[in-house]
Amino acid sequence: MKIATWNVNSLTARLQHVLDWLIANPVDVLCLQELKMSDDKFPLDVLKSAGYEAVVFGQKTYNGVAILSRTPVRDVVKNIGGFTDEHSRVISATLDTPAGPLRIVNGYFVNGQAPGSDKFAYKMNWLRALHDWLHGELAAHPQLVLLGDFNIAPEDRDSFDPVGLAETIHHTTEERDHFKGLLQLGLTDGFRLFDQPEKSYSWWDYRMLGYQKNRGLRIDHVLVSAPLVPRVKSCMIDRVPRKWEKPSDHAPVTIEIDA
Protein backbone atom coordinates (compact mmCIF):
# COMPACT_ATOMS: atom_id res chain seq x y z
CA MET A 1 0.00 0.00 0.00
CA LYS A 2 1.35 3.40 -1.01
CA ILE A 3 0.27 6.60 0.74
CA ALA A 4 1.45 10.05 -0.33
CA THR A 5 1.25 13.62 0.88
CA TRP A 6 1.54 16.73 -1.28
CA ASN A 7 1.01 20.41 -0.59
CA VAL A 8 -0.18 21.49 -4.02
CA ASN A 9 -0.35 25.23 -3.25
CA SER A 10 -3.72 25.67 -5.03
CA LEU A 11 -5.53 22.72 -6.55
CA THR A 12 -7.07 25.05 -9.12
CA ALA A 13 -3.61 25.84 -10.44
CA ARG A 14 -2.21 22.33 -9.97
CA LEU A 15 -5.06 19.91 -10.77
CA GLN A 16 -3.45 18.70 -13.99
CA HIS A 17 -0.19 18.16 -12.11
CA VAL A 18 -2.03 15.98 -9.60
CA LEU A 19 -3.68 13.96 -12.37
CA ASP A 20 -0.42 13.53 -14.25
CA TRP A 21 1.41 12.51 -11.09
CA LEU A 22 -1.26 9.93 -10.21
CA ILE A 23 -0.97 8.36 -13.65
CA ALA A 24 2.77 7.94 -13.13
CA ASN A 25 2.40 7.10 -9.42
CA PRO A 26 -0.90 5.26 -8.83
CA VAL A 27 -0.78 5.44 -5.04
CA ASP A 28 -3.61 4.03 -2.94
CA VAL A 29 -4.06 7.24 -0.96
CA LEU A 30 -3.03 10.82 -1.72
CA CYS A 31 -3.39 13.51 0.94
CA LEU A 32 -3.44 17.07 -0.35
CA GLN A 33 -2.90 20.35 1.48
CA GLU A 34 -3.39 24.01 0.61
CA LEU A 35 -6.28 23.39 -1.73
CA LYS A 36 -7.21 27.08 -1.59
CA MET A 37 -10.79 26.33 -2.64
CA SER A 38 -14.19 25.83 -1.04
CA ASP A 39 -15.82 22.39 -0.99
CA ASP A 40 -18.23 23.26 -3.79
CA LYS A 41 -15.30 23.98 -6.14
CA PHE A 42 -13.51 20.70 -5.43
CA PRO A 43 -13.20 18.54 -8.61
CA LEU A 44 -14.83 15.39 -7.24
CA ASP A 45 -16.01 14.14 -10.64
CA VAL A 46 -12.62 14.64 -12.29
CA LEU A 47 -10.85 12.72 -9.54
CA LYS A 48 -13.50 10.00 -9.60
CA SER A 49 -12.84 9.54 -13.29
CA ALA A 50 -9.16 9.13 -12.38
CA GLY A 51 -10.11 6.33 -9.99
CA TYR A 52 -10.20 8.16 -6.68
CA GLU A 53 -12.90 8.85 -4.14
CA ALA A 54 -12.28 12.02 -2.14
CA VAL A 55 -13.22 13.58 1.17
CA VAL A 56 -12.52 17.27 1.42
CA PHE A 57 -12.40 20.08 3.96
CA GLY A 58 -11.95 23.20 1.90
CA GLN A 59 -11.71 26.92 2.51
CA LYS A 60 -11.97 29.77 0.06
CA THR A 61 -8.60 31.27 -0.87
CA TYR A 62 -6.61 29.69 1.97
CA ASN A 63 -5.77 26.34 3.57
CA GLY A 64 -7.92 23.30 2.75
CA VAL A 65 -7.13 19.58 2.94
CA ALA A 66 -8.38 16.44 1.20
CA ILE A 67 -7.87 12.68 1.22
CA LEU A 68 -8.03 10.86 -2.13
CA SER A 69 -8.41 7.09 -1.95
CA ARG A 70 -8.86 4.25 -4.43
CA THR A 71 -11.20 2.56 -1.93
CA PRO A 72 -13.92 4.12 0.25
CA VAL A 73 -13.02 5.72 3.57
CA ARG A 74 -15.23 6.12 6.63
CA ASP A 75 -15.54 7.99 9.92
CA VAL A 76 -14.40 11.31 8.51
CA VAL A 77 -13.50 13.98 11.09
CA LYS A 78 -12.58 17.58 10.30
CA ASN A 79 -10.07 19.62 12.33
CA ILE A 80 -8.81 18.88 15.84
CA GLY A 81 -11.41 17.68 18.29
CA GLY A 82 -11.95 20.14 21.13
CA PHE A 83 -9.96 22.93 19.47
CA THR A 84 -11.91 25.83 17.97
CA ASP A 85 -10.34 26.79 14.65
CA GLU A 86 -11.75 28.86 11.81
CA HIS A 87 -9.22 27.38 9.39
CA SER A 88 -9.53 24.12 7.45
CA ARG A 89 -6.34 22.34 8.43
CA VAL A 90 -6.99 18.71 9.34
CA ILE A 91 -9.07 15.91 7.88
CA SER A 92 -9.04 12.34 9.20
CA ALA A 93 -10.58 9.14 7.87
CA THR A 94 -10.36 5.38 8.30
CA LEU A 95 -9.39 3.05 5.48
CA ASP A 96 -10.21 -0.64 5.77
CA THR A 97 -7.20 -2.75 4.78
CA PRO A 98 -6.35 -6.48 4.84
CA ALA A 99 -4.35 -5.77 8.01
CA GLY A 100 -7.26 -4.00 9.71
CA PRO A 101 -8.46 -0.40 9.96
CA LEU A 102 -5.90 2.27 9.13
CA ARG A 103 -6.50 5.81 10.37
CA ILE A 104 -5.22 8.58 8.10
CA VAL A 105 -4.71 12.04 9.64
CA ASN A 106 -3.88 14.66 7.00
CA GLY A 107 -2.72 18.03 8.31
CA TYR A 108 -1.73 21.40 6.97
CA PHE A 109 0.14 22.66 10.02
CA VAL A 110 0.20 26.36 10.87
CA ASN A 111 3.08 28.29 9.27
CA GLY A 112 3.58 30.65 12.19
CA GLN A 113 5.13 33.54 10.26
CA ALA A 114 7.82 34.52 12.79
CA PRO A 115 8.72 33.79 16.41
CA GLY A 116 7.04 36.24 18.75
CA SER A 117 4.17 37.00 16.37
CA ASP A 118 0.48 36.36 16.99
CA LYS A 119 0.58 33.73 14.26
CA PHE A 120 3.44 31.96 16.04
CA ALA A 121 1.40 31.91 19.25
CA TYR A 122 -1.48 30.39 17.27
CA LYS A 123 0.93 27.77 15.93
CA MET A 124 2.03 26.83 19.44
CA ASN A 125 -1.57 26.54 20.65
CA TRP A 126 -2.50 24.51 17.58
CA LEU A 127 0.41 22.12 18.05
CA ARG A 128 -0.43 21.60 21.72
CA ALA A 129 -4.04 20.83 20.79
CA LEU A 130 -2.91 18.43 18.06
CA HIS A 131 -0.65 16.56 20.47
CA ASP A 132 -3.36 16.15 23.10
CA TRP A 133 -5.94 15.08 20.53
CA LEU A 134 -3.61 12.56 18.89
CA HIS A 135 -3.02 10.89 22.23
CA GLY A 136 -6.65 9.81 22.16
CA GLU A 137 -6.62 9.05 18.46
CA LEU A 138 -3.72 6.65 18.85
CA ALA A 139 -5.49 4.86 21.67
CA ALA A 140 -8.59 4.48 19.48
CA HIS A 141 -6.68 3.74 16.26
CA PRO A 142 -3.47 1.76 16.87
CA GLN A 143 -2.68 1.76 13.14
CA LEU A 144 -2.38 5.47 12.35
CA VAL A 145 -0.52 7.60 9.84
CA LEU A 146 -0.07 11.33 10.47
CA LEU A 147 1.13 13.12 7.37
CA GLY A 148 1.11 16.47 5.64
CA ASP A 149 2.87 19.81 5.54
CA PHE A 150 4.16 20.23 9.11
CA ASN A 151 5.94 23.55 8.51
CA ILE A 152 8.72 22.26 10.78
CA ALA A 153 12.25 21.25 9.82
CA PRO A 154 12.83 18.84 12.72
CA GLU A 155 16.63 18.60 12.56
CA ASP A 156 19.53 20.62 11.22
CA ARG A 157 19.97 18.15 8.36
CA ASP A 158 16.44 19.05 7.22
CA SER A 159 17.52 22.61 6.32
CA PHE A 160 19.86 23.95 3.66
CA ASP A 161 21.22 26.54 6.13
CA PRO A 162 20.75 25.36 9.70
CA VAL A 163 23.21 27.91 11.10
CA GLY A 164 21.97 30.97 9.28
CA LEU A 165 18.33 30.03 9.85
CA ALA A 166 18.72 28.93 13.48
CA GLU A 167 15.71 29.94 15.61
CA THR A 168 13.86 31.37 12.62
CA ILE A 169 10.44 30.06 11.57
CA HIS A 170 10.39 26.28 10.92
CA HIS A 171 13.68 26.00 12.85
CA THR A 172 12.86 27.20 16.36
CA THR A 173 13.47 25.11 19.44
CA GLU A 174 9.77 25.39 20.29
CA GLU A 175 8.64 23.97 16.94
CA ARG A 176 11.19 21.16 17.06
CA ASP A 177 10.14 20.29 20.60
CA HIS A 178 6.57 19.92 19.38
CA PHE A 179 7.75 17.59 16.63
CA LYS A 180 9.63 15.54 19.23
CA GLY A 181 6.45 15.50 21.29
CA LEU A 182 4.63 13.79 18.42
CA LEU A 183 7.35 11.15 18.29
CA GLN A 184 7.06 10.66 22.04
CA LEU A 185 3.40 9.74 21.53
CA GLY A 186 4.67 6.63 19.77
CA LEU A 187 4.97 7.93 16.21
CA THR A 188 8.02 7.41 14.00
CA ASP A 189 9.34 9.54 11.14
CA GLY A 190 8.93 7.19 8.18
CA PHE A 191 11.53 9.01 6.09
CA ARG A 192 14.23 8.44 8.71
CA LEU A 193 13.63 4.70 8.87
CA PHE A 194 15.92 4.47 5.83
CA ASP A 195 19.27 5.81 4.72
CA GLN A 196 18.52 8.91 2.68
CA PRO A 197 20.62 11.13 0.43
CA GLU A 198 22.12 14.17 2.10
CA LYS A 199 20.28 17.44 1.54
CA SER A 200 16.92 15.74 1.02
CA TYR A 201 14.23 18.42 1.02
CA SER A 202 10.53 18.61 0.19
CA TRP A 203 10.11 22.40 -0.18
CA TRP A 204 12.04 25.05 -2.06
CA ASP A 205 11.34 28.77 -2.23
CA TYR A 206 10.23 30.07 -5.62
CA ARG A 207 12.60 33.00 -5.17
CA MET A 208 16.36 33.21 -5.77
CA LEU A 209 16.56 29.92 -7.69
CA GLY A 210 15.68 28.02 -4.54
CA TYR A 211 15.09 24.70 -6.29
CA GLN A 212 17.93 25.04 -8.78
CA LYS A 213 20.37 25.68 -5.93
CA ASN A 214 18.72 23.08 -3.66
CA ARG A 215 18.11 25.69 -0.98
CA GLY A 216 15.31 23.69 0.57
CA LEU A 217 13.70 22.40 3.74
CA ARG A 218 12.22 19.04 4.66
CA ILE A 219 8.91 20.13 6.16
CA ASP A 220 6.53 17.55 4.64
CA HIS A 221 6.44 14.44 6.79
CA VAL A 222 4.87 11.01 7.21
CA LEU A 223 4.74 9.70 10.79
CA VAL A 224 3.57 6.16 11.50
CA SER A 225 2.38 4.50 14.69
CA ALA A 226 4.39 1.69 16.31
CA PRO A 227 2.41 -1.27 14.84
CA LEU A 228 3.12 0.02 11.33
CA VAL A 229 6.87 0.54 11.68
CA PRO A 230 7.91 -3.08 10.91
CA ARG A 231 5.77 -2.98 7.77
CA VAL A 232 7.20 0.21 6.24
CA LYS A 233 9.04 -0.76 3.07
CA SER A 234 10.15 2.65 1.80
CA CYS A 235 9.66 6.39 2.12
CA MET A 236 10.84 8.85 -0.47
CA ILE A 237 10.54 12.41 -1.78
CA ASP A 238 9.65 12.73 -5.46
CA ARG A 239 11.39 15.83 -6.77
CA VAL A 240 10.15 15.37 -10.34
CA PRO A 241 6.98 17.54 -10.10
CA ARG A 242 9.03 20.44 -8.73
CA LYS A 243 10.69 20.61 -12.16
CA TRP A 244 7.40 21.00 -14.02
CA GLU A 245 6.10 24.27 -15.41
CA LYS A 246 4.47 26.42 -12.71
CA PRO A 247 4.95 23.80 -9.99
CA SER A 248 3.96 23.73 -6.38
CA ASP A 249 6.84 24.77 -4.14
CA HIS A 250 6.45 21.38 -2.39
CA ALA A 251 7.23 17.88 -3.65
CA PRO A 252 5.18 14.75 -2.91
CA VAL A 253 6.37 12.36 -0.21
CA THR A 254 5.34 8.70 -0.52
CA ILE A 255 5.47 5.89 2.02
CA GLU A 256 4.97 2.23 1.19
CA ILE A 257 3.49 -0.02 3.87
CA ASP A 258 3.15 -3.77 3.55
CA ALA A 259 -0.59 -4.40 3.70
d(CA 161, CA 163): 6
d(CA 31, CA 29): 7
d(CA 24, CA 231): 24
d(CA 89, CA 16): 23
d(CA 204, CA 160): 10
Q: What tens digit of pLDDT does each residue of 141-185 get?
A: 999 999 999 999 999 999 999 999 999 999 999 999 999 999 999
Q: Show which residues are catalytic.
A: 108, 149
CA 40 from centre of chain = 23
Helix ranges, the chain (H) = 11-24, 44-49, 118-140, 173-184
Determine how many CB atoms are found less than 10 A away from the CB of residue 61. 9
Q: What tens digit of pLDDT does each residue of 78-124 get?
A: 999 999 999 999 999 999 999 999 999 999 999 999 999 999 999 99
- For residue 228, CA distances in Å to 161, 194, 214 come to 33, 15, 32
Q: Are 211 and 151 a contacting pair, CB within 8 Å?
A: no
Report the predicted TM-score, pTM, of the whole model to 2 decimal places: 0.98
C-alpha dihedral over 185, 149, 18, 250, to 10 degrees? -140
The pLDDT, as a whole number, for residue 259 is 84
Q: What tens digit of pLDDT does each residue of 10-43 get?
A: 999 999 999 999 999 999 999 999 999 999 999 9
Q: What tens digit of pLDDT does each residue of 40-55 get?
A: 999 999 999 999 999 9
Percent of residues, the chain, with pLDDT higher than 70? 100
